[in-house]
Amino acid sequence: MNYRLQDDTLDHIMDAVIAIDNGSNITYLNHAAAKQYNVDVNNILGSKLTDLYEITWLRPEDEQNLRGSLEKIGYWHGESIHRRRGSGEIHVESTVTVLKSTSGQKIGLLTIHRDITRCKLVEEELRKSETRLSMIQRAAGIGAWDWNIAEDTVVWSPETYVIYGLDPNIPVSHEQVMSLVHPEDRSRITDLQNELQMRHAKIWKVEYRIDHPSLGMRWLLSWGKVVYNSEGDLIRIIGVSFDITERKNVEDSLKNRIEDLQTLVDERTEQLRDAERLAVIGETAGMVGHDMRNPLQSIVIAVYLAEEDLSSLPDCKAKTNLKQFLETIDEQVKYINKIVSDLQDYAEPLVLRSEETDLKQTINDSIRAIALPEYIQSSVLIEDNFPKMTIDPFLIKRVFINLITNAVQAMPKGGKLTISASRKNGDVLVNVEDTGVGIPDEHKPHIFKPLFTTKSKGQGFGLAASRRIVESYNGSITVESEVGKGTKFTINLPLVKR
């Protein structure tokens, strides 16, 4: 597995982050992990995880619980002892997440290990010496507390007041503490209390958010020992709390990073599929276009000769019908010819010619080539002395024909077509505007993609080919549209090819 995490963020956190593949080979570890396990990053990559540490489970069922949790939900959180190679044991709190490929296959595990050896020592010292515990708490930023449920009292160490941002000279109550807890997390504490009463568990452990008076929202972890009376009633919890906001932020950042990486992989995979599909389309389009040209030319010639012969016949109903049939054939031939041209414009390598081109004349020629319907009003707003462009007149005419054709098709009940040109910073801006049906917002990101079309007739190559031609001259083509009001395509081209 070649999975790697390339994010400097992971090298600036305190927790050890390690990634392994399905064969338990180490594929990544951050600087904190290298320091925690006393290894060199470059030397340990590719080694087995057991070369880094061996696990001693706190309970016999913990290993089975880990495997079951990973198979069921892809996530496990728990504690264990790590026996480091040549550098002693540490007590760790671990988060293990299953890594999956875009196809959903498991490709490894991502683990975050927090060294909580100090916290465990603090728990031990809590039973030995309150004075010594207070010193350790101040050094480690850990606050001790004693919640006497039976007497409804709360006692905090000075460091706990700091963690919550409260005045140490003012006694606190459980109700006051709960008021600082985020509303969404209060039930987590009360539910744990009820669960302890029912199960008679000995450990209190809960993560929750508080509204710190000066620091804003902070994540805390409270960890303590539960005391019951002889009747089995929960009467007291003695424990510690510490700020885990940094760890939570890192976990969120890591989760987002993984999601971003998976999204990026999905996008790249889709782009590769599109590229392969378009390569096949391009090759096929070139062959189809070449093979169809000769038959089309024969049909055009045959229609022309038939029209010539028909004109010499006396007027009659049969002549009128034949003339209509020939006009229909001519229209369909032109439509097929446009498809072939679009296919070749998109698929074949562009051979760019550059010559002085009269923009206004080229646009007028494009309009005449289409033969606008009578219900379409058109206007070309370009000065007669507009500078000539250095461009291929045939290719740019193909672009205008595509845009004008689209405009006509967008105005089936009539409308106005306006083509204008202006100069800006050495470039030429050509606007092709219509008052047609407009383009829905959800279609705008796709209109320049090949094979995308919303028309009953059309192959979706016209705009893709047009953009290809424009961009080959270091230009750009953009669209503005509003449903029910019309559409404006703007072509930006250099006056002289760069």
pLDDT digits (tens, 9 = 90+) for 336-391: 776 676 666 665 666 677 888 899 999 998 888 887 888 999 999 988 888 888 88
DSSP code, position 150: T
Residue 33 dihedral angles phi and psi, to the nearest 5°: -65, -40
3-state secondary structure of 15: coil
- Please check whether residues 370 and 437 belong to one and the same domain: yes
First-to-last alpha carbon distance for the chain, in angstroms, is 46
Report, in this order, helix, strand and coil percent for the chain, each rounded to 5. 45, 30, 25
Angle at alpha carbon of residue 300, lines to 297 and 303, rounded to 5°: 150
DSSP code, position 60: T
For 430-485, what is the HEC assignment? EEEEECCCCCCCCCHHHCCCCCCCCCCCCCCCHHHHHHHHHHHCCCEEEEEEECCC
- Please check whether residues 152 and 239 belong to one and the same domain: yes
pLDDT of residue 477: 94
- Please check whether residues 228 and 147 belong to one and the same domain: yes
In single-letter form, the type of residue at position 48 comes to K
Count: domains in the chain: 3
- Please check whether residues 128 and 229 belong to one and the same domain: yes
- Please check whether residues 64 and 139 belong to one and the same domain: no
- Please check whether residues 95 and 136 belong to one and the same domain: no
Strands 415-424, 376-381: pairing kind = parallel
pLDDT of residue 1: 43
> How far apart are the C-alpha atoms of 218 and 171, rounded to whole Å?
22
Domain contains 128: yes
- Please check whether residues 138 and 216 belong to one and the same domain: yes
- Please check whether residues 92 and 153 belong to one and the same domain: no
Q: Where are the beta strands (DSSP E) in 370-426?
A: 376-381, 389-391, 415-424
Q: In CATH, what number is assigned to the domain containing residue 430?
A: 3.30.565.10
Tokens of 46: 């590719």
Other Cβ atoms less than 10 A from the Cβ of 274: the count is 13
> How far apart are the C-alpha atoms of 463 and 452, rounded to whole Å?
9
- Please check whether residues 381 and 476 belong to one and the same domain: yes
pLDDT of residue 254: 84
- Please check whether residues 362 and 469 belong to one and the same domain: yes
pLDDT of residue 303: 76
Helices (H) and strands (E) in the chain, counts: 13, 18
CA separation (Å) from 118 to 93, 329, 363? 12, 88, 80
- Please check whether residues 373 and 482 belong to one and the same domain: yes
Domain residues for 360? Answer: 349-494
Of the candidates 213, 192, 219, 190, the one whose C-alpha atom is nearest the C-alpha of residue 203 is 192
pLDDT of residue 4: 47
Residue 351 dihedral angles phi and psi, to the nearest 5°: -105, 105
Place of tokens 């250095």: 390
pLDDT of residue 5: 46
Domain contains 305: no
Domain contains 209: yes
Q: Which residues of the chain have pLDDT under 50?
A: 1-5
> How far apart are the C-alpha atoms of 133 and 121, rounded to whole Å?
10
> How far apart are the C-alpha atoms of 481 and 438, rounded to whole Å?
6
- Please check whether residues 353 and 478 belong to one and the same domain: yes
Last residue in a domain, options 243, 277, 299? 243
